[in-house]
Amino acid sequence: MRELDWILGTFVEKEFSQLSDDDQKRYAVLLTYDDPDLWRWFCNPKTCPSEWSDLIIKIRTNCSVVGFENVCTLPPS
């Protein structure tokens, strides 16, 4: 899904190296989830499982790309 590639790619470029080793491992596990789940979690962090909320919010917050909110209103491609 292009939107997720954009969100996750931006985060990796800007912030991934600053994560703790544990959070880097968690990030790798997060990527094993299905795209529709990840998309829903990024667009509405309240819908994600509690064990992922901190990382989802961190990624979403640090992905300060203009128009992010508008992207979440579009159906995923």
Residue 77 has pLDDT above 70, yes or no: no
pLDDT digits (tens, 9 = 90+) for 45-65: 889 999 999 999 888 877 655
- CB 59 within 8 Å of CB 7: yes
Q: Look up the pTM and report it.
A: 0.78
Indicate if the pLDDT at residue 70 is higher than 70.
no
Q: Given this model, what pLDDT does residue 64 score?
A: 59
pLDDT at 73: 58
Domain boundaries, the chain: 2-71
Specify whether the backbone of 73 is left (phi greater than 0), alpha (psi in -120 to 50) or beta: alpha
